[in-house]
Amino acid sequence: MSPRVVSARLSGYPLTGLLTLAGLTILLWCPTAALAQRVLGIDVSAWQGDISQANWNRVYTDGGRRFAFIRVTHYGEDDRGDPDWYYDQNFTRAKAAGLLVGPYHYAIWSRTPQVEAEYFLTYAAPYITPGHLPPMLDLELKDNPGDPVGATSVCDWAQQWINIVKAQIGVEAGVYLSASRTNTYGFCFNPLPLLWLADWCGDNICTACGDITDPDTQPQYSYNLPPWGHNNWTFWQYCSTGSVPGISGNCDLDVFNGTYTELLTYLIGTPNEIVRSPSSLTPSAVAGLNPPAQTFTVANGIEGTMPYNITSDVTWLSVNPSSGESTEPTDVDTITVTYSTSSLPIGVHPGTITITANAASNSPETISVTLTINPTPGDFDADGHVDAEDTTIFIGCLTGVDPESMDPNCTKTDLDHDDDVDQTDFGILQQCIRGALAPPDPYCAD
For 377-419, give the DSSP string.
Answer: TT-TT-SS--SHHHHHHHHHHHHTSSTTTTSGGG-TT-TT-SS
**Structural domains of the chain, with CATH:** 7-264 (3.20.20.80), 274-374 (2.60.40.10), 376-446 (1.10.1330)
pLDDT, tens digit, for every residue of 78-133?
A: 666 689 999 999 999 999 999 999 999 999 999 999 999 999 999 999 999 888 99
pLDDT, tens digit, for every residue of 409-446?
A: 677 777 777 777 888 877 777 776 665 544 444 445 44
Give pLDDT, residue 384. Answer: 64
Nearest to 273 by CA among 159, 390, 365, 336: 365
Q: What pTM, to 2 d.p., does this model score?
A: 0.58
Give pLDDT, residue 11. Answer: 31
Give pLDDT, residue 63. Answer: 96
**In sequence order, which residues have a C-beta less than 8 Å from that of residue 149 and are 6 or more positions away?**
109, 110, 111, 112, 157
Instruction: Please list the ranges in the chain whose pLDDT falls under 70.
Output: 1-35, 77-81, 202-205, 222-223, 270-271, 359, 376-377, 382-385, 402-409, 432-446
Give pLDDT, residue 284. Answer: 93
Give pLDDT, residue 35. Answer: 45
CA–CA dist 308, 287 (Å, integer): 34
Q: What is the DSSP letter of 15?
A: E
Residue 241 exposure: Cα atoms within 13 Å on the Cβ side: 8
Nearest to 256 by CA among 217, 227, 222: 217
Measuring CA to CA, how many Å separate 136 from each of 21, 29, 83? 11, 23, 15
Give pLDDT, residue 361. Answer: 78
